[in-house]
Amino acid sequence: MKKGRSGKRWWLGIATCALLASVAVLAFGGLAAAQDEEASPAADDGEKQTLKIGWMTEIDNLNPLIGWTNSVYEVWSNEYLLMNGRSWDELKPDPAQGINKSWEVSDDGLEWTFTINEGMKWHDGTPITAKDQVFTYNFMIEHQPFTYSSFMSGIEKAELVDEYTYKVICSRPKANILMMWIPTLPEHVWGAMDPEEATTTFANDPPNIGSGPYQVVEWKKDQFLRMEYNENWYGEKPEIDEVMYVVYKNGDTMVQDLKSGAIDAAYLFPPAQFDALTQEEDIEAIEYSWFNWDYLGFNCYEGESLGNPVLRDAKFRAALEYGIDREKIVEVAYGGHAWTGYTFLPPDNWRDPDYAWEPDEGVRRDFDLDEAKKQLEAAGYVDSDGDGIREDKDGKPIKLRLWGNAEVPEAQRATKLIAGWWKELGLNIVLSVQDEGTYFDKIWNYKGDTFVPDFDVYYWQWDGYIDPGQTLQCWTTNEIENLNENAWSNEEYDRLCDLQDQELDADKRAEYIHQMQEVMYEECPAITTAFPLKLAAYRTDKWTGWSQCNFGQGAAFCTAVVPNAYTRLSLPTGEAAADDGGSNVGLWVGIGVGAAVVVALIAFFAMRSRRGGPVEEE
């Protein structure tokens, strides 16, 4: 590199950045501390033990009938006990982690009798009775809230037997009734509301009334969420008095705070930081698969739509899959911390039976641009005028909007690769980065009361349910306008879903679930690109008892399933772990803003002489 005046100005700029950053940290830290008197928890007497978890995700809504994002499921799993809890080691039904302590099913599989754990109370001290379970079931059956509308299929009603016993009456056997992700709602809270309000507009502002070991008491969107120990918890009192989820905009800053001890754990940090964290003393870094996949979703809607109509053609969609190099995506987008994937159910997440399915080598559509071109031409999508852009069957040049998720750097890197490959196929790809708000608004777009999806192709992330049937049910015809993002409809898929939903034999049910994945792969309403490994790390000097669930190969925290991830932890033996005497959210915000100033100033000096690229690529 040639040194000269410009180089001196650059280093002078960095020196200035360092000085300004120091001032920024002090200034913003002081400002945040001042704001903290209003916005964040007051300091306690120094004895409160707080577990601080950093993540780069945001909660959309605390109402369990409305919320959607993966992060809010983690909050709910500690706030609302599921009807049937899951064991830590195998994620099997566990009476100690849910409302129900025992159950029986009739010989014909149509009637389930549940007995709940006695002595439980809601966060406000109201006793939990079987009436709450009956209310929850019947409320969801009658009012069909967005997220649970199809999960009650096959269930007719719930009936009260006595204070601690109730029955669930089914019209057909219900295979996954013990494994459904269904929270129990307090009747005295939700029953007093208008059902329309409860399922559409109720924000469920803190303090929330639930039944789990921790209660949401404070939430500052884009900043933090705080949960306090529930004094009415029926289990053994944990050593953690409160759990704090801190929102970061920068993953590297989050990792630095983990190293310094400002937070105790970090969830989904940048892959480039993983190897370095494994070398840190007093920090354990783990990677694991967690029922999740990343994918391209197509607008398949046959009704009124603002998407490109070529995407209704399964042959067109399948041809595009040959234009995706999964190995390259894993290497470049995920830094090697992912598995290549073809369907929605990742391998090695289930045992006895394994519900995951993968196409055989002869059926699999692996990366082959020549084959992709051949398939497009065979389906009638050709470049008739030789301008380099293929036309649809009406002779119109094919233009596709491809979105990458603004909140996920891996998605942005992946879509950049995909856009390049698809352009080589002779398609006009308009690549842009969109936030999840746009995803929600456009995928579920309406003109008045008419559903009119307004997108072509997007890259997104899904964390599925532990029960595979509950996951795959999201792509049935009944779920169009709800969880079926792609608005895809297939009669055979729906038929197989009905069969798996009522098959009580686990091995036979697995066969139906395998067939569902096969149908979806053939029709290609979405293309799974990878099974990203979740990257998490935690400090072992502050808390002990960390372990991974699901046969020791799953999550250690942020499970979104079991409520005992944090009740299992304890202070180091013989030590009074140092705490900050409070949440100190203001300080973290100040440090985060100061770090942002450093990044912004350095970027300014480095890029002031360069032109910025457009958000969209034509």
Sign for the pseudo-dihedral over CA of 173, 175, 178, 180? negative
Residues of the chain short of pLDDT 50, as ranges, are: 1-45, 576-583, 585-618
CB 329 within 8 A of CB 529: yes
Q: Which domain holds residue 163?
A: 81-200
Residue 269 falls inside a structural domain: yes
Does residue 41 share a domain with residue 116? no
| Helix H or strand E segment including 244 | strand 242-247
Residue 549, judged by CB atoms within 10 A of its CB (0-12, 13-18, 19+), counts as buried
Does residue 540 share a domain with residue 415? no
Q: For residue 509, what is the domain's CATH number?
A: 3.10.105.10
Peptide bond into 95 cis (omega under 30): no
| Helix H or strand E segment including 285 | strand 283-288
Residue 330 falls inside a structural domain: no
CA distances from 442 to 57, 197, 309, 453, 454 (A): 20, 23, 16, 6, 5
Does residue 274 share a domain with residue 192? no
Closest CA to 596 of 29, 78, 190, 57: 29
Sign for the pseudo-dihedral over CA of 409, 411, 413, 419? negative
Does residue 409 share a domain with residue 495? yes
How far apart are alpha carbons 345 and 468 in whole angstroms?
A: 7
Does residue 355 share a domain with residue 445? yes
pTM greater than 0.85: no
Residue 43's SS3 state is coil
Does residue 301 share a domain with residue 259? no
The DSSP line for 493-536 is HHHHHHHHHH--SHHHHHHHHHHHHHHHHHH-SEEEEEEEPEEE
pLDDT of 151 reads: 84
Closest CA to 257 of 458, 52, 47, 406: 52
Closest CA to 421 of 543, 306, 321: 321
Length in residues, the chain: 618
Residue 576 falls inside a structural domain: yes
How far apart are alpha carbons 40 and 218 in whole angstroms?
A: 8
CB 403 within 8 A of CB 457: yes
Does residue 547 share a domain with residue 527? no
How far apart are alpha carbons 19 and 5 in whole angstroms?
A: 21
Give the count of domains, the chain.
Answer: 3
Does residue 268 share a domain with residue 129? no
Looking at 200, 220, 238, which one is the last position of a domain?
200
pLDDT of 69 reads: 85
Residue 263 falls inside a structural domain: yes
Looking at 532, 550, 583, which one is the last position of a domain?
532
Does residue 426 share a domain with residue 371? yes
Does residue 372 share a domain with residue 247? no
Q: For residue 31, what is the domain's CATH number?
A: 3.40.190.10
pLDDT tens digits for range 226-274: 999 999 998 889 999 999 999 999 999 999 999 999 999 999 999 999 9
Closest CA to 431 of 462, 452, 395, 406: 406
Residue 612 falls inside a structural domain: no
Does residue 507 share a domain with residue 411? yes
The pairing of strands 534-539 and 283-288 is: antiparallel
Looking at 153, 185, 200, which one is the last position of a domain?
200
Closest CA to 302 of 488, 477, 441: 488
Does residue 355 share a domain with residue 467? yes
Residue 518 falls inside a structural domain: yes
Residue 26's SS3 state is helix
Residue 68 falls inside a structural domain: no
Closest CA to 232 of 338, 346, 123, 318: 123
* Token code pair at residue 414: 């992946």
Sheet of strand 111-116: strand arrangement: 100-105, 111-116, 165-170, 155-162
CA distances from 265 to 89, 285, 536, 541 (A): 21, 10, 7, 11
pLDDT of 601 reads: 38
* Token code pair at residue 443: 């995928």
pLDDT of 180 reads: 92
Give 3-state DSSP helix, strand, coil % of the chain, rounded to 5: 35, 20, 45
Q: For residue 124, what is the domain's CATH number?
A: 3.90.76.10
Residue 339 falls inside a structural domain: no
